[in-house]
Amino acid sequence: VMGPTKQQYLDLNIPSTAFIHVDDYSSPEQLANRLHAISQNYFEYRKYFLWQ
């Protein structure tokens, strides 16, 4: 996500394992690499939905 700070999401009791915040990455390339890795691994992808 981009926009509200990561802390604002955490304050809403959304676990950090439920979203990817752009501020966690030092470059767009790092973010893209992470997103690509998740897209190639079903189990990594599913982790983002376990909190529901």
From residue 22, alpha-carbon distances to 15, 27, 28, 37 in Å are 15, 9, 8, 15
Residue 41 within any structural domain of the chain: yes
The pLDDT of residue 51? 80
Q: How far apart are CA 46 and CA 8, in angstroms?
A: 23
Residue 52 within any structural domain of the chain: no
CB 35 within 8 A of CB 22: no
Structural domain boundaries, residue 42: 6-47
Residues of the chain below pLDDT 50: none
Domains identified in the chain, total number = 1
Phi–psi pair at 45, nearest 5 degrees: -60, -45
Query: Global pTM?
Result: 0.80
